Structures are given as structure tokens and as C-alpha cells.
Amino acid sequence: MSQLAWILNGPNLGRLGAREPEVYGSASLADLSAVCAQWGAELGLDVEVRQTDSEAELIGWLHQAADRSIPVVLNPAAFTHYSYGLRDAVAQVSLVIEVHLSNPAARDVFRHRSVISGVVLGTIAGFGFDSYYLALSELARLAAASS
């Protein structure tokens, strides 16, 4: 049986393709979901991709992931830089990998700080959709190692 994994995306990531294509590329969230499902299948993961602009909804999903022991790949988007509520929710989930499409460290100063990074297993940033691939492959490796 495949290991369930959630890919949770924060605010404005539903606008991929239309939003600042010079930074985030021209592919949409639907494209990201499709390729992540395909990568998941190849890696033995049953991947579910979600996106919300709501901090409360994202926190609710993380509570469910904590209660159900679901590993999470998380792109917290702008919440990365200031949401202590999100950080406290992430801290309750045993396996979270933080991802970013762009490299926030190479962008505006306010993006240099992640309040999330201290409570995740690791962070992958700067590789576009491949950031998600790298996170999924590490997650699959960890799942295989612990089974």
C-alpha cells in the first residue's frame, strides 16, 4: 500500500502561471498537482495536493496531518515569513519538509527569514517544481527506511 503524503500550499500559490511568471514560471497549480501525483506514483506515495489562501484552513489541515500521522510537504508561501500560528501548527506534525519554488534568500530582505524552518525536518528552495520532487523523494526514502 502506498504511503499517503500531503502537499500543502499557502496563499497566492493558486495563482501560479498568472502570478509573477518571471519568478514562479508559467505552469499552473493544476500542472504542479498533476506532476506531483505522477512523481508520487513513481516513488510509491499517494500524493494529495491542496492549496488555500486562508491561514486558518492551512492550520486546520496541519492539525489533521498531526492527528493522522500524515507526512507533509509544505510551501507556506508568504506565511513563511511571519506566521507564528502556522509555525506552532507545523511543530505538531512529525514529518514536514518546507519547500519554495524560488530561493527566498536571494530575494527581498523580508523573505530571508523563515519562522517555519526551525520546526521542519529540512527546507528545499530555489528549484521550481523540482523543489517538490526533491522533497517527495526524500519523504519516500524516509518512509521506506522506517517500514
List of residues 6+ apart from 122 with CB closer than 8 A:
97, 98, 138
Task: Decide the pairing of beta strands 96-100 and 72-75.
Answer: parallel
Ranges within 101-140 binding ligand DQA (CB under 6 A): 101-102, 104, 111
In the residue annotation, 84 being an active-site residue is answered as no
Q: Which stretch binds ligand DQA (CB under 6 A): 51-59, 62-70, 84-92, 94-102?
A: 94-102
Q: Is 80 a residue that touches ligand DQA (CB under 6 A)? A: yes
CB of 17 to ligand DQA, least distance (A): 13
In the residue annotation, 100 being an active-site residue is answered as yes
Q: How far apart are CA 133 and CA 52, in angstroms?
A: 21
Q: Which stretch binds ligand DQA (CB under 6 A): 61-69, 70-78, 116-124, 132-140?
A: 70-78
From the candidates 84, 100, 112, 132, give the one annotated as an active-site residue. Answer: 100
On whether the CB atoms of residues 49 and 32 are closer than 8 A, the answer is yes
- Which residue, among 118, 84, 122, 119, has the nearest Cα to 100 in the 3D structure? 122
